[in-house]
């Protein structure tokens, strides 16, 4: 057995140490199981794999609630044995994606800031039955020291009758003190969240739990399943440069302060590349209020350009993880993790003036954004936190390459096949072709600017032709569409393999 006794500070808990199989045995069919984890960071590993092995023999399902996506040991192992009946609020696992796009899993894709409170309200068929939580240590009072993410963990622990704690010895104890745990009261008792600056601390450095709730403690030494980012290619570099030049223009116009406002950046390679672009820029004293702290933010800290970063998860590459762990004492003064309902809070985003930067699968000529669905039907990952920030930010930017599949798909279309963010939420669109600032423009004006600045040359004539004919057919209606053609580009791709005529 892994020696975890030094991490359990109340020795009366030592008799609750069991194997992953013993802990998994307490989970019954159709239970609501809430786990730690936000991206492949800070999620339980040993107990979910033991549960998957049990499900493979007994053939039952659970409802799985997390913070966001998690690693292979959780989503992957349970999806492989058809062990998930319902899943929320976000995922990125390939096997799970296949299951939810083939009717095997009922997936509800949520704004991440809302997911914890909606479970507390009982909107999803009862409360959390069992919480499975990864921790660095357990305090003398029975409180939990989180690891590399906060997510919805504190809320799930608060709601659950039974808590299973995985003490992960691969996670450094030096993470202690990097968390600020605060769960808001629910209506009608809720108070304003008292954050006015990125580095404000309002909670505790541990997750309140208590000795009585802890049913089992499971040793684990499996590291987070972190992943490499795609190399920063020319397209990503160009989009980052366009964003930085736009910010400089806004400063000259008096619409942004010289050190900008707090930055929010979505998950993934493009978002990481955009943040990395600030390393070589003239900006300094940058603040970040976001979901995930990725390699680009470590780069900013190492370059002396980061004033402070608040997130809900450390989600670096394998090399970034090594750098984080090796220099954690240095990063401690610059970084903090909060529960996602605080990290993604629309209230805070609007108060401190977030600059929101997220990626799109596609956007249409009138400024609607599809962040989630391929060809309108198949779920990719989920809306994540992009909606939390997009509608409430000081400035909202969406990024996408102008084409996909080697040019067979245009990312700028007459009408999105699915809409996650409306025209009312977005200020700026950026592709490698250019930047479209659509603030203050009518739909027809937006369309001209988006086509000119963002669409690929192969598709610009087709988009302009559609717009011209739609204006004529509708006698220049407010948002002119040809309804029998609006989704024809997607239909043509599904039929012929290309959006081109």
133, β-bridge pairs: 165
Residue 225 CA to residue 246 CA, distance in Å, equals 36
117 three-class SS: helix
The distance in angstroms from the start CA to the end CA of the chain is 64
Most distant CA pair in the chain, distance: 78
32 among annotated binding-site residues: no
Residue whose token pair is 């808990």? 13
Here the tokens at position 82 are 């058809």
Residue 42's nearest CA partner among 313, 385, 262 is: 313
Residue 304 CA to residue 300 CA, distance in Å, equals 6
CB atoms within 10 A of CB 440: 8
Burial code of 24-48, b = ≥16 C-beta within 10 A, e = fewer?
Answer: bebbeeebbbbbbbbbbbbbbbbbb
CB atoms within 10 A of CB 331: 22
Residue 433 CA to residue 327 CA, distance in Å, equals 38
277 among annotated binding-site residues: no
Residue 485 CA to residue 465 CA, distance in Å, equals 12
269 among annotated binding-site residues: yes
370 among annotated binding-site residues: no
**CA 139 remoteness from chain centre:** 29
381 among annotated binding-site residues: yes
385 among annotated binding-site residues: yes
382 among annotated binding-site residues: no
- In 389-465, where do the E strands start and end? 395-399, 403-404, 409-410, 412-413, 428-431, 434-437
* Burial (Cβ within 10 Å: 0-12, 13-18, ≥19) of residue 438: buried
Contact at 8 Å (CB) between 434 and 453?
Answer: yes
Angle between helices 295-302 and 318-326 (to 10 degrees): 40
Strands 162-168 and 214-220: parallel
Residue 291 annotated in active site: yes
Q: Where are the alpha helices (DSSP H) in 101-165?
A: 112-120, 153-159
Residue 380's nearest CA partner among 101, 63, 111 is: 101
268 among annotated binding-site residues: yes
Q: Which of 250, 291, 341, 362 is catalytic?
A: 291
Contact at 8 Å (CB) between 41 and 148?
Answer: yes
Active site residues: 291
Name the binding residues: 266-270, 361, 381, 385, 405
Name the binding residues for CoA: 266-270, 361, 381, 385, 405
């Amino acid at each position: 057995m892994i020696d975890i006794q030094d991490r359990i500070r109340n020795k009366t808990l030592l008799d609750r140490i069991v194997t992953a199989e013993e802990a998994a045995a307490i989970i019954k069919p159709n239970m609501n199981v809430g786990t730690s984890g936000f991206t492949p960071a800070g999620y339980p590993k040993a107990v979910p794999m033991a549960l998957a092995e049990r499900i493979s023999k007994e053939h039952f399902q659970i409802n799985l609630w997390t913070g966001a996506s998690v690693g292979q040991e959780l989503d992957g192992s349970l999806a492989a044995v058809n062990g998930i009946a319902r899943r929320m609020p976000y995922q990125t696992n390939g096997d799970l994606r296949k299951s939810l796009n083939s009717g095997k899993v009922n997936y509800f894709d949520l704004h991440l800031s809302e997911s914890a409170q909606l479970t507390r309200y009982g909107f999803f068929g009862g409360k959390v039955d069992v919480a499975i939580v990864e921790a660095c240590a357990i305090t003398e009072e029975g409180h939990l020291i989180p690891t590399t993410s906060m997510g919805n963990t504190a809320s799930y622990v608060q709601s659950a009758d039974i808590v299973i704690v995985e003490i992960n010895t691969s996670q450094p104890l030096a993470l202690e003190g990097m968390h600020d745990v605060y769960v808001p009261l629910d209506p009608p008792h809720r108070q304003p969240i008292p954050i006015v600056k990125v580095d404000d601390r309002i909670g505790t450095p541990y997750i309140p739990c208590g000795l009585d709730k802890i049913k089992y403690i499971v040793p684990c030494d499996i590291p987070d399943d972190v992943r490499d980012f795609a190399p920063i290619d020319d397209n990503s570099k160009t989009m980052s440069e366009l964003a930085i030049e736009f910010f400089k223009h806004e400063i000259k116009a008096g619409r942004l302060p010289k050190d900008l406002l707090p930055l929010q950046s979505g998950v993934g390679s493009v978002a990481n590349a955009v943040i990395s672009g600030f390393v070589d820029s003239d900006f300094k004293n940058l603040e970040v209020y976001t979901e995930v702290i990725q390699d680009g933010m470590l780069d900013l800290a190492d370059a002396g350009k980061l004033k402070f970063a608040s997130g809900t998860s450390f989600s670096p590459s394998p090399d970034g993880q090594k750098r984080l762990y090796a220099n954690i004492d240095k990063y401690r003064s610059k970084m903090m993790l909060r529960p996602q309902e605080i990290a993604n809070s629309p209230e805070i985003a609007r108060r401190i003036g977030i600059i929101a930067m997220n990626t799109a699968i596609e956007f249409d000529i009138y400024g609607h954004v599809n962040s989630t669905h391929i060809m309108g039907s198949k779920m990719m990952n989920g809306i994540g936190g992009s909606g939390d920030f997009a509608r409430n930010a000081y400035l909202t930017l969406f990024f996408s390459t102008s084409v996909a599949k080697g040019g067979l798909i245009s990312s700028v279309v007459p009408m999105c096949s699915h809409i996650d963010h409306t025209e009312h939420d977005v200020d700026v669109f950026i592709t490698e072709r250019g930047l479209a600032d659509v603030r203050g423009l009518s739909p027809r004006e937006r369309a001209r600017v988006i086509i000119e600045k963002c669409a690929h040359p192969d598709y610009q004539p087709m988009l302009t032709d559609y717009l011209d004919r739609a204006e004529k057919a509708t006698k220049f209606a407010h948002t002119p569409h040809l309804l029998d053609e609006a989704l024809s580009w997607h239909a043509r791709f599904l039929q012929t393999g290309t959006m081109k005529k």
